[in-house]
Structure 1
Amino acid sequence: MRAALVTAPGRLAVETVADPSPAADGVVVKVRSCGICGTDLHLVDGELGTDRFPLVPGHEPWGEIVAVGRSATGFAVGELVAVDPSLHCGACDPCRRGQGNMCQRWGAIGATRPGAWAEFTAVPVANLHRLGDDFPLDAVALAEPVACAVRGLRRLNPRADEPAVIFGAGTMGLVLAILLDLQGVGPVTVVDINPARRELAARLTGAAVCGSAEGLRARWVIEATGNPAAFEAALACVDRAGTLLVFGVANPLATAAISPYRVYADELTIVGSMAILHSFPPAIATIRRHADRFAPLVTDAFGLDDIEAALTLVRSGKTIKTLITP
């Protein structure tokens, strides 16, 4: 099969590699599409470590089952599925506590094992979510991002009819804005320094949009960029007794300034949200009910041969969700 293969930081090429075979408890999925996200850019650039190379990235796939392992049950060839990329060992203490996203041997399809910027990808049955014939396929590519956002908002636990501020108008910022609106939280304000993203955010979410956080205060604030400067601005925006959700994926070596006194005096809460945890089924259900809100976030699609152009577009910030369609 053909796949986009990263062999070293910044070195990515479309190559012919061996077709995957299903594990005994897994399947092979013919990839209909797979998203590109900011974490993928960190991975391609080697910022998440290089010990995993060579690697086929891609952790946001959906597609059609084309092969089933000998002991896999519950799914059949021809079914359409979305894929939760998270891999948990199930045996360590965090897994036993129901905190699989803290797994001591945590992995992910497209991050620690071959992913879905490819024609086919191998997936454990436990990671599959059946779509059914009536699922709105124009929005299904957002299943993984929505699942991450559902997990994040559980951590934030905002209240309805109270204002919220989101830093970052990328895919995740806009998904979070839509989910907050669906939960009755608001008004929602999205902050982004990129004019192109601000225009898209205003058009696609209905949220208030601005280029600066000056003067903004809210009890519920989300940092969705991974930028340390944005983290500092977001923390400054949190009102007394408020909560900051750190959602964006920063470079692991990045640091930011914080005032311990303010955290104490204002009784601030700072929470993180790592990947997906028990949130894929509700994400699928939410997309099914509100596909009209999510589908417009898919703005661009590229074939494998144009993977470099796709990555360039994502880095430019002039797109929301860009897909690879092998």
Structure 2
Amino acid sequence: MKAALIEAPGRVVLATVPDPAPGPREVVVGVAATGLCGTDLHILQGGFAPALPVTPGHEFAGEIVAVGREVIGLAVDDRVAVDPSPRCHECRSGRGNLCERRQAIGVTAPAGAAEFAVAPAASCLRLPEHVDVADAVLIEPLSCAIRGYDVLSDSTLGAEVLIYGSGTMGLMMLELAKPTGAASVDVLDVNPSRLATAAELGCSRSAARADDLDKPDGWDFVIDATGNSQAPTATSSTTSAPPPSRPIRSSTTSTASARCTPAARPPWSTAPRPRSWPPHAPQRPNPHSRLTLLSGRCEAPTTPAPSTCSDNCASSRTS
């Protein structure tokens, strides 16, 4: 079969490799679609993968073409999406940080950037008829975004949220903010066309810099969906520029201070905030917020909070 192989940092080739065979509790998936994730790019740049070569593409879906002799509940021709993390006892108990295996399809084992891929049967999710197999590729990154809000629990009810990055993950976090009860969701990005997409999906305001949103009290939560640790710094100026006197309509040609117009704001963006919000929390170095959520782990700083501050949540997708 044909497969993409990352042979060395910065080098990827299309190679012919042996067709895979399933183990007793594994299946072989005929890959129909594969997503390209930031983790794949990190592996190409020389990070994450413990050894090369490796076939990347941990976001994939397709049809089962072979099953192991001990597999139950799945059959040939079943359409499935694949969880790239083999499930151990700790993972099934919700303690992924204590994983006994520390392995992942596409990082330590060949994945979906090939015609066929092997996966544990327990990692395969059978797709309902109404879900297109190409759309199912997004189940894995969507689960990462949902996990971020799971960690925040009910704290987003009535909260004001700022999202850095309007790519796939940022837009998913924007969409998920609505059912979790956020009062408003602002989006930052340096790409005007991405800001236009965020406006179409109903963000409250959009801009290239946090300072352009004229919010000196900050936000309750700040979500970093850029995949770039320098992005929050780059999109926040050290000096405060005066905000525009009126909203600027967002478009593909707009610049740093583009915003969604009031007409584009959905009803949930103007919901009243509970009197008890925001709660006191320790102060983070980020000037816009005070609680940090990174990769599903909540990091509690030790510095006391001032009387007026706002929460910071930076949720990055690593998949």
Higher relative contact order (CA 8 A, sep 6+): 1
Pick one of 210, 216, 235 that aligns with 2:286. Answer: 235
Map of 2:281 onto structure 1: none
Mapped partners of 2:102, 2:43: distance in 1: 16
TM-fit CA distance, 1:95: 4.5
Map of 2:166 onto structure 1: 169
TM-fit CA distance, 1:270: 6.2
Mapped partners of 1:264, 1:83: distance in 2: 46
Pick one of 150, 155, 169 that aligns with 2:151. Answer: 155
Mapped partners of 1:69, 1:2: distance in 2: 22
TM-fit CA distance, 1:207: 4.8
Map residues 53-64 of structure 1 onto 2, 5 A cutoff: 53-64=52-63
Secondary structure in 2 matching 1:129: strand
The code of the aligned residue for 1:66 comes to V
Mapped partners of 1:130, 1:219: distance in 2: 38
The code of the aligned residue for 1:58 comes to G
Mapped partners of 2:105, 2:306: distance in 1: 40
Q: Which has the greater radius of gyration? A: 2
Secondary structure in 2 matching 1:236: coil
Secondary structure in 2 matching 1:145: helix
The code of the aligned residue for 1:162 comes to A
Mapped partners of 1:96, 1:34: distance in 2: 25
Per-residue CA deviation, residues 27-69 of structure 1 (Å, 9 max, x unaligned), is: 00011101011111111111225x3210000011111011000
**1:89/1:106 contact within 8 Å kept:** no
Map of 2:274 onto structure 1: none
**1:4/1:56 contact within 8 Å kept:** yes
Name the count of aligned residue pairs.
260
Map of 2:185 onto structure 1: 188
Map residues 56-205 of structure 1 onto 2, 5 A cutoff: 56-90=55-89, 94-95=90-91, 98-137=94-133, 139-157=135-153, 158-204=155-201
Mapped partners of 2:137, 2:304: distance in 1: 40
Mapped partners of 1:80, 1:183: distance in 2: 30
Per-residue CA deviation, residues 90-122 of structure 1 (Å, 9 max, x unaligned), is: 3xxx55863024414311111111010111100
Mapped partners of 1:131, 1:16: distance in 2: 29
Mapped partners of 1:263, 1:269: distance in 2: 12
Per-residue CA deviation, residues 192-238 of structure 1 (Å, 9 max, x unaligned), is: 12223223332345453210011342111111123223355593211
Map residues 27-38 of structure 1 onto 2, 5 A cutoff: 27-38=27-38
Change (3 A) 1:30 1:224: same
Secondary structure in 2 matching 1:67: strand
Mapped partners of 1:42, 1:5: distance in 2: 14
**2:225/2:315 contact within 8 Å kept:** no
Per-residue CA deviation, residues 237-260 of structure 1 (Å, 9 max, x unaligned), is: 11xxx5332249xxxxxxxxxx96
Secondary structure in 2 matching 1:144: helix
| 1:246 is the counterpart of 2:297 | no
TM-fit CA distance, 1:269: 7.0
Which is richer in strand?
1
Using the aligned pairs only, state the percent identity. 40
**1:156/1:220 contact within 8 Å kept:** no
Change (3 A) 1:30 1:97: closer
Mapped partners of 2:303, 2:122: distance in 1: 45
TM-fit CA distance, 1:162: 2.0
Map of 2:246 onto structure 1: none
Map residues 5-24 of structure 1 onto 2, 5 A cutoff: 5-24=5-24
**1:152/1:247 contact within 8 Å kept:** yes
Mapped partners of 1:53, 1:174: distance in 2: 32
TM-score (norm 2): 0.73
**2:222/2:313 contact within 8 Å kept:** no
Mapped partners of 2:191, 2:167: distance in 1: 10
Change (3 A) 1:177 1:11: same
Q: Return 5+ residue gaps in structure 2 as ranges.
A: 237-284
Mapped partners of 1:159, 1:200: distance in 2: 23
Secondary structure in 2 matching 1:227: coil
Mapped partners of 2:143, 2:52: distance in 1: 27
CA RMSD of aligned residues (A): 2.9
Mapped partners of 1:104, 1:267: distance in 2: 37
